Structure 1
């Protein structure tokens, strides 16, 4: 396939005029089949990578059902998200094990839809005071042996784990996680600057949904946000749904951290792609009105988003983030965070041919190509 007449995303130059060619499932210097896709009036961007979402279309990753996970993968691909790393909740170990095994079975079956590139354990190693929508009954102190058991159940698919670093045993947990090939992200935490810095120096490399479920960033107590900024190897997740973070703060984060360190996430719930109403969530219930999801009976507690990652990318652009920066934050940066950047996240020759054509006028999806195959046109 040869994609012609489009403005093509480039990591170094932003958008450039060039052809994109595929030879089977990979990007190549020349087309291998003579097929042509006209991208006139479009941007050509890498398929997006969501490393933190819980569900969509009525399904939740934590339900650990094969059909539900398949429906999620199909929906995500339809939204231009070609690689997914769904997140589990704070639950008992037996249910977390079921989630991990379900993910491993889905991966082994070479299922259709977006590729399951990993999974994110957002719980249970969090703190009670900042648990947010997580179920406090199942919180657990950091436990490297437990993480290893879950990694074995997932057949190595655990790529991210969220940790409250003030909990006992956190530094040892970070070292154990790294030995298991797991990236540690700080979140759902009351940690001060010094505690968070110690965790980053021990090997944590991410911040989970920056500003949400952590102490505020103030001039005398910079907390996790300041610690993340001071460690240039650390990336920060950002929920850009127009609800969780004010547009001014979104702009400030991109300026403060730079576009190479921001990871756009959706943190989407099973209500994404569904009508308003009440939905189960991690053994609790949430209430959805429009673009806002809160804990049932606690309208002040946000539960996650009901916006896809592509929707968050469009929202970021509407807030004044340059399109190239938003694309990088939703593709290459998250690919790096789960270790798939050598084959995904940009449009370099030799990488997998997964990309999306966006209409220049409104950033709506015109076409989706996944691993060389046109799946939506």
Structure 2
């Protein structure tokens, strides 16, 4: 398959008018526009040829939740895969909630056969273990009864159950034993600061000892103020990447723009943090065993606490652009950066020869007209 004359988004985060050849499940080559010819061609002139979106923080979509797999069923993940693929999300990290070790163990055992396997849609690339090592004061929509201090032995057991597929683990760095946990866990996966009341100094210590990521910046952490910069200030100094939910609900559009200005396009990861109501009508749903009510894109617990999002990453990307983020910056934050953050950039996240053929053709409204996952068009 030849994608001709498109505006190709390169690994440098810039557009280049070029032809792209897909062969099998790989990107065979990227060549000057008009130079490649084949039996199957798509004229991408005036359109964007981009990597598939990479969502490293997503709980659910299309009525399904990653953690529903606790009953041993893989159908919930497959439902998510199909929906995400249809939106242009080609890789994702199944994200957990704060649960007991027994529940998490059952989830990881159930989904283990699906990691990195071809699917009818987006590929499950691993686990984002969001919880249970949190500060109860910043629990957000996490169930308090499951929240505990960092437990290295528990994490090791879950790591084994997952087959080494936990790619990201979250922790509040001010908790007892957290710094030692971060030091050890960072040898196995990306460690992120999350659901925390940490001071600037406590967050700095976490980054100094191996944390490199920050979960849904501004949400479930102290406010960023001029005398107490907190986690946000420490992240600005030291974090390799920060996540941001750019649905226009979790953060004001001005804050979305400000994050890119403060951190630069190279350090921001757009995420959905979506739950099962994503892609579904208004109504009652659940997250982490708690009731969630979704109304026009706003998902909340019964007490009004925001409970994840109901917006797909593809739409979060489009909204970031609508809010004034440059197209190249928003696209990088939905593809290159998240792939780098969880160690997947060698395989995906950019339109580069030799990488997996997860490629989108977007129209001028940034809607996908063609979606290739592993070289196969949906």
Q: Which residue of 1 aligns with 2:51?
A: 46
Q: Which residue of 1 aligns with 2:81?
A: 73
Q: Which residue of 1 aligns with 2:22?
A: 22
Range with bigger deviation, 89-98 or 35-44: 35-44
Does residue 69 of structure 2 align to residue 84 of structure 1? no
Normalised by the length of structure 1, the TM-score is 0.95
Q: Which residue of 2 aligns with 1:294?
A: 300
Deviations 1:347-370 (A, max 9, x none): 11111111111111x111111011
Does residue 225 of structure 2 align to residue 218 of structure 1? yes
SS in 1 for 2:307: strand
Range with bigger deviation, 55-64 or 32-41: 32-41
Q: Which residue of 2 aligns with 1:34?
A: 39
SS in 2 for 1:288: strand
Structure 2, unaligned stretches of length 5 or more?
Answer: 31-35
Counterpart CA distance in 1 for 2:343 and 2:37 is 28
Using a 3 Å threshold, how does the CA distance of structure 1 residues 108 and 87 change in structure 2: closer, same or farther?
closer
Q: Which residue of 2 aligns with 1:158?
A: 166
Deviations 1:299-358 (A, max 9, x none): 2x1111100000000000000111111111001100011111001001111111111111
2:372 corresponds, among 354, 358, 369, to 369
RMSD: 1.4
Deviations 1:32-71 (A, max 9, x none): 9632112133111100100001000111111113101111
Q: Which residue of 1 aligns with 2:33?
A: none
Structure 1, unaligned stretches of length 5 or more?
Answer: none
SS in 2 for 1:357: strand
Does residue 113 of structure 2 align to residue 105 of structure 1? yes
Counterpart CA distance in 2 for 1:264 and 1:222 is 22
Using a 3 Å threshold, how does the CA distance of structure 1 residues 111 and 369 change in structure 2: closer, same or farther?
closer
Q: Which residue of 2 aligns with 1:3?
A: 3
**Displacement after TM superposition at 1:146 (Å):** 0.8
Does residue 179 of structure 2 align to residue 171 of structure 1? yes
Counterpart CA distance in 2 for 1:79 and 1:22 is 20
Does residue 363 of structure 2 align to residue 359 of structure 1? yes
* Pairing 1:181-192 to 2, within 5 Å after superposition: 181-192=188-199
Kept after mapping to 2: 8 A contact 1:23/1:32: no
Counterpart CA distance in 1 for 2:149 and 2:200 is 20
Normalised by the length of structure 2, the TM-score is 0.95
1:149 corresponds, among 157, 161, 170, to 157
Range with bigger deviation, 102-111 or 5-14: 102-111
Q: Which residue of 2 aligns with 1:274?
A: 280
Does residue 240 of structure 2 align to residue 234 of structure 1? yes
Counterpart CA distance in 2 for 1:79 and 1:359 is 13
Q: Which residue of 2 aligns with 1:119?
A: 127
1:324 corresponds, among 325, 328, 343, to 328
